[in-house]
Structure 1
Amino acid sequence: MNTRIHIRPMTGADVESVYRSLDQFEIGKPLDYIARCWEENVSGRRVTLIAEGENRFAGWLHLVFRSDYAYFAERNIPEINNLDVLPPMRRLGIANALMETVERIAFDRFGIVGVGVGLYSDYGSAQRLYAKRGYVPDGRGLMYLGEPAKPGDYVQVGHDLALYLIKERA
């Protein structure tokens, strides 16, 4: 399939259609979260990019200018988060196109960008994508609920267990 990918900034008109599109494929993003993302775009706290393929919503990605992850926040490293591509649109280069665009924004403004990635199989595609794009661990090890996991700790494998990665402008 030859799909033309178009990347653009989110608009207020996208809130409802993004919700419906994600919900259709059981990608759990509450409507109030999507609306909050839009509000943070308006206030300048984040940039949300929308990917369209075949003239319809295909995925999205966010760049948060002040990360909740303390290590990034203290070093003024913006964080990429919430990369979603709809299942029928995967393996068409959409995630790479979103990443290319968001990295350009981050590098122009900060010279660096970070991302946290989950460690179980649901995140396998993201792990591979970030590695192929040149992201490296930030050197702080595994984080659980935003805090370093220490030797001997028991942590729950889930969305709250992550490895944070960084990439600097080449």
Structure 2
Amino acid sequence: MNTQIEVRQMTSEDIDIIYRVFTEHNIGKSLDYISKCWEENKTGKRITLLAFYKGNFAGSLHLLTKSFYPHFAENNIPEVNDFNVIPPLRRYGIGNELMDAIEKIALEKYGVVGIGVGLYKSYGSAQRLYAKRGYIPDGKGLMYNQQPVEPGSQVCADDDLNLYFTKNV
């Protein structure tokens, strides 16, 4: 555990700092989206964890208690979602601290946790992180907008093209 990193659950007072820091670092999260995330925290639809490095906001990670991905939703598998670490603070262990904390919550309550990951180059570090942490493909194949990609079909290689993984206790 890195003593320079603090991880805690989001509060309403965090909305403005999250928006400001994400905007400064060109992480496209609107104020409306961040506010919606807070509202979903209050209703239990989402758990948002924030990381602070040396006292400064460094990133966030969400757990959707009901995934939009049908296989996870049907099987009561919560989904790790929207994982962001501020670019200049990457490689300090912040992402691993966030993942440790969110997995602890998910695994204690559900016994399993799921995650979807994009397939193009900018997702490479995430792909490697999840594999190192013991996530395995869910066996449902490639998905586009949470729906199966049929053999021979063409899809756009964008943020909606994902492979989904799970991790058990």
Aligned to 1:121: 121
Secondary structure of the equivalent of 1:139?
A: coil
Aligned to 2:77: 77
Secondary structure of the equivalent of 2:151?
A: coil
Amino acid at match of 1:39: E
Aligned to 2:28: 28
What is the rounded CA distance, in whole Å, between the counterparts of 1:3 and 1:89 in structure 2? 15
What is the rounded CA distance, in whole Å, between the counterparts of 1:151 and 1:9 in structure 2? 41
Q: How far did 1:3 drift?
A: 6.9
Aligned length: 168
The runs of 4+ residues in structure 1 deviating greater than 4 Å are: none
Is there any run of 5+ residues in structure 2 with no aligned partner, and where?
A: none
What is the rounded CA distance, in whole Å, between the counterparts of 2:145 and 2:65 in structure 1? 20
Aligned to 1:99: 99
Aligned to 2:48: 48
Give yes or no for contact 1:3–1:92 (8 Å, CA) kept in 2: no
CA RMSD of aligned residues (A): 0.9
Taking a change above 3 Å as real, the CA distance of residues 38 and 15 of structure 1, as seen in their structure-2 partners, is same
What is the rounded CA distance, in whole Å, between the counterparts of 1:3 and 1:29 in structure 2? 28
- Normalising by structure 2, report the TM-score: 0.98
Secondary structure of the equivalent of 2:142?
A: strand
What is the rounded CA distance, in whole Å, between the counterparts of 1:139 and 1:29 in structure 2? 31
Is there any run of 5+ residues in structure 1 with no aligned partner, and where?
A: none
Secondary structure of the equivalent of 1:27?
A: coil
